[in-house]
């Protein structure tokens, strides 16, 4: 079992890389879409809602398979890593857009009007008045969703990404023994348990005192 | 483009295969959602017991399955797909229902008890109906996730929608069946997503 520890560890590195890329790209894109949506340009909003609904209703694995096995027939061949990254980033984008948007709309209209009437521009109002209030509301759903989607990195196995589960499965077939899988499972626990605990802490830290 | 992704002949040819997959996806969802809800309800009810001997193992259990990618569970348990899903979704449903039960003020249960209801009766007739209503969007959203989760079954060769579509894809050397499957997923789940968006926005705006 220990023989396969280095493999699992290299898998851990790939999982972390993948997770960080997904979280950064997904949340940035989600925030960007939510901000675009707050400009209230009708056709653009329909487009955003359409994209968001699409990625909320498709299982992430379907998106990964579609990109990895589908795109090569139009002569674009993304690697497994890139397919997984793109797919999960799109999914996280959709969910975080929805969450940020809900946060933005939850800030009372009067806040906008008050800020604008004191002479702040649209951008300043958004940045200094609305978003700070919106973020507090968005943190619990956002942390939950982010954890759920980063766990999806395990789906990369299906398209041959050498992340934890991929390494553990191939070690299992090499050794005819499921102990590497146990090692992989332990690696996930070690990796994600602190994240779950940290998320709980952040949630209580930023919660509105009621 | 059309030849590759929306090839009509392949759509017709692969339709029965994909349809069989759809049936299994629906069956699996119908199995896992009630099981998960029931398990979650039991977890949530146990969590409302104040004794630390019950509470701590419970928190550990819920956090464990929240921190664990369901795909790992699936391969570990391999044959017991439904059990893997149940363990995972049960933990989520449990967490949601617990939040719902917590959101009902303690006065409600005290009032219920003082009118002569037993603990269980107060829970079933007074607390739970209010709790479920408070967390309805979350319950619905988790159910949506569960249906999407069934796609993972394809990895361990459960012949559900995605698996069947991939079979059809390798038979035809053409990604059209996967596009068909994606379209079916979208048509199946889009109404739920729309409903959810409305419920969620209303819940947040109502604060």
- The structural domains of chain A, with segments of one domain joined by +, span 12-161
**Mean pLDDT to the nearest integer, B179-207:** 80
What is the tens place of the pLDDT at every residue in B99-146?
A: 888 888 989 888 989 999 888 888 889 989 999 888 888 888 888 888
CB contact under 8 A, A58 and B182: yes
End-to-end CA distance of chain B: 48
> Which pLDDT score is estimated for A190?
85
> Which pLDDT score is estimated for B79?
52
**Does residue A17 register a pLDDT over 80?**
yes
CA distance readout (Å), A46 to A36, A98, B1, B195, B203: 12, 13, 25, 16, 22
- ipTM for the predicted complex: 0.73
Cα–Cα dist A98/B16, whole Å: 36
**Average per-residue pLDDT for chain A:** 86
For chain B, what percent of residues have pLDDT higher than 70? 86
What is the tens place of the pLDDT at every residue in B137-175?
A: 888 888 888 888 888 777 766 777 888 888 888 887 788
Q: Quick one: closest CA in B to A185, which residue?
A: B72
> Which pLDDT score is estimated for A43?
92
Cβ-count burial B16-30 (b if 16+ within 10 Å, e if not): ebbeebbebbeebbe
CB contact under 8 A, A65 and B178: yes
**What residue segments make up the domains of chain B, in order of their start?**
2-205
- Cβ-based contacts under 8 A for chains A and B: 128
CA distance readout (Å), A90 to A154, A187, B6, B147: 16, 26, 22, 19
CB contact under 8 A, A103 and B148: no
The architecture CATH gives domain B2-205: Orthogonal Bundle (1.10)
> Which pLDDT score is estimated for B17?
76
Residue B79, classed as helix, strand or coil, is coil
SS (H, E, C) B155-172: HHCCCCHHHHHHHHHHHH
For chain A, what percent of residues have pLDDT higher than 90? 23
* B118 Cα to chain A: minimum distance (Å): 31
One-character DSSP codes across B106-163: HHHHHHHHHTT--HHHIIIIIIHHHHHHHTHHHHHHHHHHHHHHGGGGGGGT--SHHH
User: What is the phi/psi pair of residue A195, to 5°?
Assistant: -65, -45
**Mean pLDDT to the nearest integer, B78-101:** 78
The architecture CATH gives domain A12-161: Orthogonal Bundle (1.10)
> Which pLDDT score is estimated for A210?
46
> Which pLDDT score is estimated for A94?
93
């Amino acid at each position: 079992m220990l023989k396969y520890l280095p493999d699992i560890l290299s898998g851990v590195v790939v999982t972390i890389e993948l997770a960080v890329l997904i979280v950064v790209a997904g949340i940035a894109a989600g925030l960007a879409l939510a901000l675009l949506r707050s400009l209230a340009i009708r056709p653009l909003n329909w487009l955003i809602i359409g994209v968001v609904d699409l990625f909320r209703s498709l299982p992430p694995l379907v998106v990964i398979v579609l990109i990895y096995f589908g795109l090569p027939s139009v002569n674009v061949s993304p690697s497994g890593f890139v397919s997984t990254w793109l797919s999960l980033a799109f999914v996280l984008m959709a969910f975080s857009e929805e969450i940020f948007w809900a946060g933005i709309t939850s800030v009372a209209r009067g806040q906008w009007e008050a800020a604008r009437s004191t002479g702040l521009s649209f951008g300043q109002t958004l940045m200094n008045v609305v978003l700070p209030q919106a973020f507090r509301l968005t943190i619990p759903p956002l942390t939950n969703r982010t954890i759920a989607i980063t766990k999806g990195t395990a789906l990369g196995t299906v398209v041959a990404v050498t992340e934890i589960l991929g390494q553990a499965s191939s070690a299992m077939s090499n050794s005819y023994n499921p102990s590497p899988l146990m090692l992989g499972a332990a690696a996930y626990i070690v990796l994600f348990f602190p994240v779950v605990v940290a998320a709980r802490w952040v949630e209580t830290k930023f919660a509105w005192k009621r | 483009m059309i030849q590759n992704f929306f090839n009509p002949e392949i759509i017709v040819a692969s339709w029965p295969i994909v349809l069989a997959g759809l049936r299994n996806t629906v069956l699996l969802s119908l199995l896992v959602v009630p099981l998960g809800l029931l398990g979650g309800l039991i977890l949530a009810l146990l969590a409302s017991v104040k004794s630390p001997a019950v509470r701590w193992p419970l928190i550990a259990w819920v956090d464990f399955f929240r921190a664990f990618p369901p795909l790992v569970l699936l391969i570990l348990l391999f044959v017991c797909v439904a059990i893997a899903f149940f363990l995972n979704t049960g933990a989520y449903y449990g967490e949601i229902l617990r939040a719902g039960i917590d959101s009902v003020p303690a006065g409600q249960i005290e009032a219920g008890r003082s009118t002569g209801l037993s603990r269980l009766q107060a829970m079933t007739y007074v607390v739970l109906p209010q709790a479920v209503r408070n967390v309805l969007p979350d319950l619905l959203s988790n159910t949506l996730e569960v249906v999407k989760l069934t796609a993972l079954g394809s990895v361990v060769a459960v012949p559900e929608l995605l698996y069947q579509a991939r079979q059809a894809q390798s038979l035809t050397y053409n990604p059209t069946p996967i596009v068909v499957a994606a379209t079916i997923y979208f048509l199946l789940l889009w109404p739920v997503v729309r409903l959810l968006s409305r419920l969620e926005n209303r819940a947040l705006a109502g604060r």
